């Protein structure tokens, strides 16, 4: 799956959460602050492969850790899609 | 006209004349209102409650032209009703004539909430003592206005009972020092606090119960032009028979609560987000559960030192 | 005709250099009630006059600009969703009016207060779109059978649809004048040469299908003029004329043959009168210097003297601030004339009389039932206001 991040997102980082403002929808979201790491790996003007994203975060992980991190990332991606902070890029 | 002429320098006849004709021009914090009405209850209440406010004229810049008028039609003989106008426009449904002053107050708040987007506007009380300011957001059940009146009668300077005005650029809190709107039992509780309280007419049977307005202290009105740095946001909650309890709130939660309490966060978009971020960055955030007046006053007293 | 301070400021923005506080107060009131404060600001900025505006007034202007920007952001978001839908249905849509100015990034969009979305599409596609929109949470605003029939039989649009959650209103047109109008417009002539709107944000376009368009400049201007000069309620008339003013000067400066193209299109769709009025009142009301072709066209246009005098009386009075500080008996009379004129232009008399009778009967019934709540979208912007005082 290929993904694109919404443009011009603003965020304010706190100890556990991050507040993200999306000027495209006018919505403000309170999210787990790990989201920033994931969004940080994504671009607003070219598509990003989900597989590569997962690979990036699971380098040097054991298989067991990999499964858990992959699930975690998948959950987050689903959530970000629902909030329209990212979109699916279809070919 | 001398710069600091207040409404108290005019007699009832003159106030009534101005309200009836071209309009009475008053400085209300950073805003200038031109108020018109021929209703005696408006004359009485305005004279009493706004006595310390600075008088201006039609040669000054005016932000809002507001009026309270009787509705037309045959029904007015049986059941007199009134309308609020912001210039030519009437945003609300008419109310019984007895509620003229509360409607004027409500309408003035509406004008600010609709048009003052150079501030981030929060639905909250704001007070200050020894340079330390507290923002008390109005969640339902907070007892915000009662708490605000208590503090205002105990040496705190009133910046606002309804609305925090936060400058988008400087993040400073600006004052309105408008009357405090009290309801039902609060009116008795607050009158019992001090002999010096001045109340407007008591209006029964509004959709919020009995309402009366407490006159802001002369000092609060004198210092209305002095902004203050935000120091703390305290989310109050009144809970019967509970000992006082103060907890630090995590800032992300406070951020979201501030947004929920804002009148214009959505309209302000990026500027709103940046201002809330700057605000949260520089204040302490607490939740406060209380029931006893003594305990809560003692807590705030300590807080100001 | 009394020239309102709003009109003077639109005609010649430099008048503000000598404004007193009471002049500013009056301008602020008239411009706010006409929803033209942000428009004025656009003119002031363009002419570098901002330094002459007192800080207090600037706050009001900035607040209005913030509100307008918010409405525009909401419209853009709706358009994004609508485009997705149109792309799926493979329907070609032309955005009209405010939405089009915004999407085409025209200077006119800056400071233009609007929130409704207008689209033009093929009449055969309407039922597909309607069903698709209903599935997406849009609901027809007119539920009464008679209203529905009136729209479907005589009008150039279906009843407006409103989103049940977001409150946005969409007007779906298949023509730009009522179809019962005797002077029916061949819409294909107007929509010929419509321009594709490239979406800035969307990289992917799975079907390679561009669903959204705006009218070509001459059609856009002419549509705006036709709309304004067929309108019965000219409360926003001054704003409409100011729209034409900005559109014309923008297109004219980009294309020297713009006036010729306008004349040609007006002849094709038989709407010379709207073009004549547009130019006549840009000149009369705003003192705008017209290009040679336009002046010749206006001078040669034939119209009965009585009708022209009536039109002049009506429009010169109504292209003004509509505010308690400007009302005169002439103004009230002009408003009445415009009301009848607008209705007559949109509908032949044989249809109009029964329609108006029925309308006033219904209003009477409404009136005796209850007083309608007046809350428009902009006022309801913040639901929190309604809890004020409620702790």
- Give me the domain span that covers residue A17: 2-85
CB C162 within 8 A of CB C138: yes
Q: Is A91 among the domain residues? A: no
Q: In chain A, how many domains are there?
A: 1
Query: What pLDDT, on the 0 to 100 scale, is given for residue C236?
Result: 87
For B67-72, what is the mean pLDDT? 91
For B267-283, what is the mean pLDDT? 97
Angle at C223 between CA C221 and CA C227, to 5 degrees: 120
Please give the mean pLDDT across all residues of chain B: 93
Please list the alpha-helical segments (H only) found in B10-134: 12-20, 40-49, 100-115
Q: What residues of B are in contact with residue A26 (Cβ under 8 Å)?
A: 266, 269
CB B34 within 8 A of CB B24: yes
Q: Which residue of B has its CA nearest to C375?
A: B91
Q: Is A90 among the domain residues? A: no
Q: Measured between CB atoms, does C70 come within 8 Å of chain A?
A: yes
Q: What residues of B are in contact with residue A28 (Cβ under 8 Å)?
A: 256, 259, 265, 273
Query: CB contacts < 8 Å between A and C, how many?
Result: 23
Interatomic CA distance for residues B241 and B217, integer angstroms = 30
Interatomic CA distance for residues C5 and C22, integer angstroms = 11
Angle at B149 between CA B302 and CA B226, to 5 degrees: 75
Tokens standing for residue B22:
């071209």
Encode pLDDT of B215-248 as tens digits.
Answer: 999 999 999 999 999 999 999 999 999 999 999 9
Find all residues with CB under 8 Å of C342, minimum gap 6, and list them. Answer: C230, C231, C232, C233, C234
3-class secondary-structure state, position B223: coil
Interatomic CA distance for residues A52 and A63, integer angstroms = 16
- Check if CATH label 2.60.40 holds for domain B120-303: no
Q: What is the dihedral of CA B111, B115, B119, B123, to 10 degrees?
A: 40
Compute how many other C-beta atoms are within 10 angstroms of the C-beta atom of residue B85. Answer: 18
Spans of all domains in chain B: 7-115, 120-303
pLDDT tens for the 391 residues of chain C, in order: 567 999 999 999 999 999 999 999 999 999 999 999 999 999 999 999 999 999 999 999 999 999 999 999 999 999 988 998 998 888 889 999 999 999 999 999 998 998 899 999 998 999 999 999 999 999 988 777 777 777 777 778 888 999 998 889 999 999 888 766 666 788 899 888 888 886 544 444 444 556 789 999 999 999 999 999 988 778 889 999 999 999 999 999 999 999 999 999 999 999 999 999 999 999 999 999 999 999 999 999 988 998 899 899 989 888 988 888 887 777 777 777 777 777 767 666 556 566 666 666 555 555 444 443 333 333 434 444 444 444 3
Instruction: Show which subunits contact A, needing at least 3 CB pairs below 8 angstroms.
Output: B, C
Sign for the CA dihedral angle at C176, C182, C183, C186 comes to positive
Nearest of B228, B277, B230, B231 to residue B254 by alpha carbon? B277
Query: What pLDDT, on the 0 to 100 scale, is given for residue C363?
Result: 56
Interatomic CA distance for residues C381 and C376, integer angstroms = 9
For A76-88, what is the mean pLDDT? 93
CB B231 within 8 A of CB B132: yes
Q: What is the 3-state secondary structure (H, E, C) of A10-59?
A: EEEECCCEEEEEECCCCEEEEEECCHHHHHHCCCCCCCEEHHHHHHHHCC
Q: Which of B250, B252, B254 is the best mutation test for A, with the most CBs of A within 10 A?
A: B252
| Strand ranges across the sheet with C138-140 | C138-140, C161-163, C169-173, C117-120, C93-96, C212-214, C195-196
Interatomic CA distance for residues C13 and B126, integer angstroms = 41
Q: What DSSP element (H or E) covers B234?
A: strand B232-238
Q: Looking at per-residue confidence, does C355 or B140 come out higher?
A: B140
Q: What residues of C are in contact with residue B91 (Cβ under 8 Å)?
A: 374-375, 379
Query: What pLDDT, on the 0 to 100 scale, is given for residue B154?
Result: 94
Query: CB contacts < 8 Å between A and B, how many?
Result: 38
Q: Which of A12, A22, A35 is the best mutation test for B, with the most CBs of B within 10 A?
A: A12
pTM value?
0.90
Distance from B142 to chain C by nearest Cα, in Å? 6
Distance from A67 to chain C by nearest Cα, in Å? 31
Q: Is A73 among the domain residues? A: yes
CB A43 within 8 A of CB A5: yes
Q: What residues of A are in contact with residue C208 (Cβ under 8 Å)?
A: none
Report the interhelical angle of C237-254 vs C272-286 (nearest 10°): 100
Nearest of C143, C57, C74 to residue C380 by alpha carbon? C74
CB C251 within 8 A of CB C221: yes
Q: Which residue of A has its CA nearest to C81?
A: A25
Q: What residues of A are in contact with residue B278 (Cβ under 8 Å)?
A: none
Q: What residues of C are in contact with residue A46 (Cβ under 8 Å)?
A: 203
Query: What pLDDT, on the 0 to 100 scale, is given for residue B178?
Result: 95
Distance from B262 to chain A by nearest Cα, in Å? 13
Contact between A21 and B273 using a beta-carbon 8 Å cutoff: yes
Query: What pLDDT, on the 0 to 100 scale, is given for residue C183?
Result: 66
Angle at B263 between CA B130 and CA B54, to 5 degrees: 55
Q: Which of residues 108-127 of B touch C (CB under 8 A)?
A: 109-110, 113-118, 123
Contact between B58 and C387 using a beta-carbon 8 Å cutoff: no
Encode pLDDT of A29-51 as tens digits.
Answer: 999 999 999 999 998 888 888 99
Q: Which of residues 9-68 of A touch C (CB under 8 A)?
A: 23-26, 45-47
CATH number of the domain to which A62 belongs = 3.90.930
Contact between C20 and B264 using a beta-carbon 8 Å cutoff: no
Q: Is A40 among the domain residues? A: yes
Encode pLDDT of A13-33 as tens digits.
Answer: 999 999 999 999 999 999 999
For A62-73, what is the mean pLDDT? 91
């Amino acid at each position: 799956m290929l993904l694109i991040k919404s443009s011009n997102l603003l965020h304010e980082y706190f100890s556990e959460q991050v507040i993200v403002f999306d000027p495209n929808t006018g919505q403000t979201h309170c999210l787990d602050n790990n989201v920033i790491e994931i969004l940080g790996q994504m671009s607003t003007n070219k598509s990003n492969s989900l597989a590569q994203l997962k690979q990036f975060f699971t380098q040097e992980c054991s298989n067991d850790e990999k499964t858990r991190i992959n699930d975690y990332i998948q959950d987050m991606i689903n959530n970000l899609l629902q909030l329209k902070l990212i979109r699916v890029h279809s070919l | 006209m001398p710069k600091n002429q207040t409404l108290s320098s005019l007699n009832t006849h003159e106030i009534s004349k101005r309200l009836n004709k071209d309009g009475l021009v008053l400085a209300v914090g950073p805003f200038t209102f031109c108020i018109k009405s021929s209703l005696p209850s408006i004359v009485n209440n305005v004279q009493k409650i706004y006595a310390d406010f600075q008088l201006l004229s039609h040669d000054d810049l005016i932000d809002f032209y507001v009026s309270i008028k009787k509705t037309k039609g045959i029904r007015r003989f049986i059941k007199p009703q009134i309308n609020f106008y912001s210039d030519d426009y009437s945003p609300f449904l008419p109310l019984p004539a007895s509620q003229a002053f509360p409607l004027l107050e409500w309408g003035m708040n509406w004008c600010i909430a609709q048009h003052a987007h150079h501030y981030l506007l929060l639905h909250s009380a704001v007070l200050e003592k020894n340079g330390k300011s507290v923002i008390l957001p109005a969640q339902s059940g907070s007892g915000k206005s009662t708490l605000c009146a208590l503090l205002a009668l105990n040496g705190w300077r009133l910046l606002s009972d309804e609305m925090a005005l936060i400058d988008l650029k400087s993040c400073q809190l600006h004052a309105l020092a408008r009357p405090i709107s009290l309801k039902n039992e609060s009116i008795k509780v607050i009158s019992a606090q001090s002999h010096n309280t001045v109340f407007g007419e008591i209006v029964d049977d509004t959709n919020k119960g009995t309402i009366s307005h407490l006159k802001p202290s002369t000092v609060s009105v004198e210092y209305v032009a002095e902004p203050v740095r935000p120091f703390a946001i305290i989310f109050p909650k009144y809970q019967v028979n509970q000992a006082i309890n103060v907890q630090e709130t995590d800032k992300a939660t406070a951020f979201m609560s501030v947004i929920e309490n804002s009148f214009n966060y959505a309209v302000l978009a990026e500027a709103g987000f940046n201002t809330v971020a700057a605000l949260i960055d520089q204040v302490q955030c607490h939740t406060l559960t209380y029931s006893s007046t003594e305990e809560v006053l003692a807590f705030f007293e300590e807080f100001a030192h | 005709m009394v020239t309102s301070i709003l009109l003077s400021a639109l005609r010649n923005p430099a008048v503000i250099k000598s404004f007193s506080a009471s002049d500013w107060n009056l301008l602020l009131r008239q411009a706010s009630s006409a929803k033209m404060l942000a428009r004025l600001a656009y003119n002031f900025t363009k002419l570098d006059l901002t330094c002459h505006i007192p800080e207090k007034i600037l706050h009001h202007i900035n607040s209005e600009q913030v509100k307008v920007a918010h409405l525009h952001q909401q419209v853009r978001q709706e358009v994004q969703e609508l485009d997705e839908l149109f792309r799926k249905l493979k329907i070609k849509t032309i955005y009209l009016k405010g939405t089009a100015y915004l999407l085409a990034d025209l200077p006119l969009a800056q400071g233009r207060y609007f929130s409704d979305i207008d689209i033009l599409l093929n009449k055969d596609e309407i039922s597909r779109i309607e069903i698709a929109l209903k599935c997406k949470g849009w609901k027809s605003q007119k539920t009464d059978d008679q209203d529905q029939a009136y729209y479907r039989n005589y009008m150039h649009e279906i009843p407006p649809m409103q989103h049940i959650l977001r409150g946005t209103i969409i007007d779906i047109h298949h023509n730009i004048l009522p179809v019962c109008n005797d002077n029916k417009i061949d819409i294909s002539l107007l929509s010929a040469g419509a321009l594709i709107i490239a979406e800035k944000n969307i990289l992917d376009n799975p079907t390679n299908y561009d669903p959204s368009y705006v009218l070509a400049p001459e059609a856009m201007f002419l549509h705006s003029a036709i709309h304004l000069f067929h309108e019965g309620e000219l409360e926003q008339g001054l704003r409409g004329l100011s729209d034409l003013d900005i559109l014309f000067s923008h297109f004219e400066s980009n294309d020297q043959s713009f006036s010729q193209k306008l004349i040609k299109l007006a002849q094709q769709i038989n709407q010379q009168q709207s073009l004549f009025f547009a130019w006549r009142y840009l000149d009369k009301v705003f003192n705008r210097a017209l290009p040679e072709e336009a002046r010749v066209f206006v001078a040669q246009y034939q119209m009965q003297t009585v009708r022209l005098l009536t039109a002049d009386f009506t429009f010169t009075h109504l292209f003004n601030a509509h505010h308690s500080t400007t009302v005169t008996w002439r103004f009230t009379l002009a408003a009445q004339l415009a009301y009848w004129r607008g209705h007559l232009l949109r509908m032949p008399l044989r249809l109009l009389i029964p329609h108006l009778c029925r309308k006033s009967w219904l209003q009477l019934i409404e009136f005796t039932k209850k007083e309608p709540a007046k809350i428009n979208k902009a006022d309801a912007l913040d639901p929190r206001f309604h809890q004020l005082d409620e702790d």
